[in-house]
Structure 1
Amino acid sequence: MGDTDVTGVAPVPAEHLVTDVAEDLSVFDADIVEKAGQIIARYPQSRSALLPMLHLVQSVEGRVSQAGIQFCARQLSLTPAEVSAVATFYTMYKRKTCGEHLVSVCTNTLCAVLGGDDIYRTLGEHLGEDGKRLGHNETAGEPGAPGSITLEHAECLAACDLGPVIQVNYEYFDNQTPESAVALVDALRKGERPAPTRGAPLRDFRTAELELAGFWPEDEESYRSTVDGPSAAVETLRGAALAEANSWTAPPMPNAPLPAEEPRAGSSMSGGEKK
């Protein structure tokens, strides 16, 4: 039996799904090719470099485009299908061009009941136009242009003790309200860079992606100014502080003996020694 003509039996025209068109990879210039080589050199197997490579691609175009997928595939000797499978699995890889800033609102259970849902709805209405609320992964302004904002609702951002939380380009803004969130995005749209509650100083989305790919300023002073910032919050350390003040300690883990290893069938080993 021959192969099925999938485009012929499709209920809608599907020729666009079958293409041999090569994408224009010129946007990935010699500097990006060199950086790709540096990423690949970190790993014993080149395919292990795919995740940071996708961040590198995203730092160039603000998304993972079809050209970006082909670029990664060629650099890593993978098929475009293998790269696409990864790029579409993780939510950090965007298929539409992001704004200058990516604003992520946690709407998982605890943040939601503390006000995350209200924050997300308020920002959508505030950033929308012509009475239409801005939706998930949609952008206010020209994507990539100064002051443009991409809004998304995110699953747990791992800051339940400080909810509701927002991230801007993956930096934390804790204990938010609808009013403080609106003030935050308004400042971003005006070109300001409000200081995160915790973490490194705020940078734009594409710079953050380059850092996620593993590239930082080379001189120590510039590097420290890029990464230094507040760390653990008072709320996060409250339990440890109470335990120390009250001399509370956890019981030690039982040191259970490991079971003796059974010799494998056909093994020449017995009792841990060679025959």
Structure 2
Amino acid sequence: MFERWFEIEVVEPLADFQNPRQEWRRLVSELVGTFFLVLVAAGGGMMSQAFPETISRTAAVVAPGLMVLAIILFMGKVSGAHLNPAVTLAFSLRGDFPWRRVPGYIVAQLAGAALAAWFLQSVVHVSATFGSNYPAEGYSSFDAFLMEAVLTLGLVSVILGTASGAQNVGVIGALGVGAYIALAGLWGSPISGASMNPARTFGPDLVGLDFTDYWVYVAGPLTGAVIAVGLAFVLRGYGGGQRGAEAAQGVLDTEVPRPEQS
């Protein structure tokens, strides 16, 4: 009898955690994950302003890729580790993520980004605008828009590809996405900043109260994401498979059988 009671006490909390109604766990995951992403992505620019001789551009653009790799590994199975409104919309367009959950994810991502920018500005004592993204001097907003669209096309293609039934979700996805973010930043950041993420730019812009050319960092990533979804259809057909859904939503829906009570 004691063994049966102990087994119930252990299993029931796990079953509660995996209850699909516990959406708040996924939202917290997205908020925390986006917080850490923006902490590193915006922090690179802000720290280089505070300590000019210690943070190179290479370090500033590679660090977000490494952070995303780590985030996918530690919380990917909780929420899918979107960290990006463009990724959330892409998963929904692909049929791997319910539309009803999109608003909550995006709000959590924007909130996490804003909290990270506020934290950085409070601690580093540098304006959050130094952690945001703007078109480079001598380049138009449209140039930056095209760069963001193309870079996001590649990013979302990698995400959707490693989230498909033909690939291994987990370490492979984390390595692929993290490496792509670092690579895109190394060559694409001089023109647009290689944001590829409306939330990543929103946080510093909100805290710094400067939304100059912010449309570039919304329209560019969303355009690239939509094209990536179309490309995924051409390459792999319809989405909505079990593996893609698990990658997009996490795996908290899994039912855990409860032992029969006697």
Same fold flag (TM > 0.5): no
Normalising by structure 1, what TM-score?
Answer: 0.23
The structure with more helix, counted as a fraction of residues: 2
The structure with more strand, counted as a fraction of residues: 1
Normalising by structure 2, what TM-score?
Answer: 0.24
Larger radius of gyration: 1
